[in-house]
Amino acid sequence: MPLIDRLEEAKRAGDYQGLLDLIPYARFLGLSCAMVGEELITTMRFGDHLIGNPALPALHGGTLGALLESAAIFELLWRAETIVLPKTITLTVDYLRSGAPVDTHARSVVTRQGRRVTNVRMEAWQTDRSTPVATAHAIFLVMRG
């Protein structure tokens, strides 16, 4: 079954994790998704393979970028009425502090939903939500076909 159909199915069943498990790279990063109140929270479970600086130690910046981009994509897939696979046009990540070797959470807000293009803001935090480790914004192409 194509991914898009499986997405529709997972969405109907409310099975976020089943959706994530279809994506090999999401498994590699250790991503999971959960609805917390009205928010879709994406979590990256800490693993040694995510380390970028073993001396500190700190997470690799690329893992935070990947988490933030994934969180935005899940948000778009989950909230949109008709599912199209969003294509990332640009992603800009601000690294605010080094990522500790613990779980990291992310959430996204759609700032503008256009006919062809959607703008999203994202933030990632660890133990304290009020001190994010990274924020980002991204633009996605959301045209069908």
Whole-number minimum distance, CB 124 to other proteins, in Å? Answer: 13
Residue 140 near residue 71, CB atoms below 8 Å: no
CB of 37 to other proteins, least distance (A): 26
91 vs 100, which CB is nearer to other proteins?
Answer: 91
Nearest C-alpha neighbor of 36 from the set 78, 3, 90, 73 = 78
User: Which residues bind to other proteins, rule: CB under 8 A?
Assistant: 2-4, 22-29, 48-55, 59-63, 65-67, 69-70, 85, 87-95, 98
Q: Is beta strand 87-95 parallel, antiparallel or unpaired with respect to 31-36? A: unpaired
Residue closer to other proteins (CB basis): 80 or 95: 95
Judged on CB neighbours under 10 Å (0-12, 13-18, 19+), 106 is buried
Q: What are phi and psi of 130, to 5 degrees?
A: -80, -10
In the complex, least distance from residue 35 CB atom to other proteins, rounded to whole angstroms: 22
CB-wise, 41 or 141, nearer to other proteins?
141
- Reported as half-sphere exposure (CB side, CA atoms, 13 A), residue 31 has a value of 32
Shortest spacing between CB 49 and other proteins, in angstroms: 4
User: Looking at beta carbons only, is 14 or 25 nearer to other proteins?
Assistant: 25
The sign of the dihedral angle between the CA atoms of 85, 86, 89, 91 is negative
